[in-house]
Amino acid sequence: MSPPARETRPFASEVKFIVDAPRGAAIRDWVRAHAEPDPYGAGPFNDEYRTTSLYFDNENGDVYYQRRSFARSKYRARRYGALPYVFLERKLRKPGILVKRRTTIAIDELSRLVAPAPNPGWHGEWFHRRVLLRQIHPVCQLSYSRIARFARTIEGPVRLTLDSAVRVVPADEPRFSDADGPLVVGDQMILELKYRHHVPALFKQLVEAFALEPQRASKYRLGIAALGESTFLAHA
């Protein structure tokens, strides 16, 4: 079943951490004992899946350098495992709110994004229109293994993801590559805690138990840094 086309999260917050592999494994075991598996997960604990995303930017790297309105939004095409469809996504941040819009298309429809004008009858028309308007295109592909769990708390629903084996390859067209590419954060893992209004007690307990310190951990920006900023340096 596909997720809704638009999802609005009032006062949505995400806190990120980069942890070493042993601590990440311990956190994985802890959350499996304290939270429920992702409804779309697989594996022995029903909480695992493979994620591959194409990230879009312009030739100046305005998304990477977080310039002007480009600092508030990210555009990407995301695929889960080997599914024959992908999600076209825009993630827009404003103070106190996160708006995520996503549309499902067949994987062979990605080639429509290179057309010089959008097709008004296509489900992905809104995404294509914004790509043309902002003059952005795929610049890299990020892939990783994800463990996802969620819980219902008195503070509202919360979600936790733990990403490992994060790899990046350059991209210049809307298609997915089978190449692995270099590791973005070595053998470390990226932990994300997602909640709505206030930090839930469950997350406070996790942070205290593992002495976690928040860090800036944009996978897109880490990926470009791993590849080298030469794509954008000429325009910085």
Long-range contacts of 59-63 (CB under 8 A, 24+ apart): 59/135, 59/232, 59/235, 60/232, 60/235, 60/236, 61/224, 61/229, 61/231, 61/232, 61/235, 61/236, 63/136, 63/220
At 115-148, the pLDDT tens digits run 999 999 999 999 999 999 999 999 999 999 999 9
What is the rounded average pLDDT of the residues 14-35? 96
At 144-181, the pLDDT tens digits run 999 999 999 988 889 999 999 999 999 999 999 999 89
Per-residue confidence band for 1, with pLDDT thresholds at 50, 70 and 90: very low
Dihedral sign, CA of 194, 91, 89, 135?
A: negative
Q: Please tell me which residue, 48 or 198, carries the higher pLDDT value.
A: 48
Q: Examine the pLDDT at 94 and tell me if it is beyond 80.
A: no
pLDDT for res 229: 72
Q: What are phi and psi of 223, to 5 degrees?
A: -65, -45
What is the rounded average pLDDT of the residues 183-205? 92
| Unique residue bearing structure tokens 């977080």 | 66
pLDDT for res 95: 67
* 64's tokens: 């990477």
What is the rounded average pLDDT of the residues 36-50? 94
Per-residue confidence band for 56, with pLDDT thresholds at 50, 70 and 90: very high
Q: Examine the pLDDT at 6 and tell me if it is beyond 60.
A: no
Per-residue confidence band for 28, with pLDDT thresholds at 50, 70 and 90: very high
Per-residue confidence band for 93, with pLDDT thresholds at 50, 70 and 90: confident
Domain map (residue ranges) of the chain:
6-229
What is the rounded average pLDDT of the residues 21-40? 95
Residue 219's nearest CA partner among 176, 189, 175, 178 is 189
CA dist list (Å): 102 to 2, 226, 234: 10, 27, 32
pLDDT for res 230: 67
Report, at the CATH architecture level, how domain 6-229 is classified.
Alpha-Beta Barrel (3.20)
What average pLDDT does the chain have?
90
pLDDT for res 231: 62
pLDDT for res 134: 96
Q: Please tell me which residue, 94 or 224, carries the higher pLDDT value.
A: 224
pLDDT for res 14: 85
